[in-house]
Amino acid sequence: MPNKKVEFNKGLKDMNEEDLQARIREDEMRLKKLEFAHVITPLENPMSIRGLRKEVARLKTELQKRKLGI
């Protein structure tokens, strides 16, 4: 059974830069909404915030790698 992170990284290879930037903006908005909701009423699974934050970091890393030509 493949790891979720590995599947996520494979999906990044198929995206172009515009798609990556759109996904980053979308996920950052979801992250802000989740964090805000967590402040008001604690989430049932607060680890989802950490997972989403890591996804955003992976997206930004992939975008930066492409800009640098790595």
Q: What is the pTM of this model?
A: 0.81
Interval 29-67: pLDDT, tens:
999 999 999 999 998 998 999 999 999 999 999 999 998
The domain of 58 spans: 4-65
In a domain, 70, yes or no: no
CB atoms within 10 A of CB 57: 11
Mean of pLDDT values over 7-15: 79
* Residue 10 counted as domain residue: yes
Asked if residue 41 belongs to a domain, the reply is yes
Contact 37, 44 (CB under 8 A): no
- If one counts the domains in the chain, the total is 1
The 3-state DSSP class for residue 8 equals helix
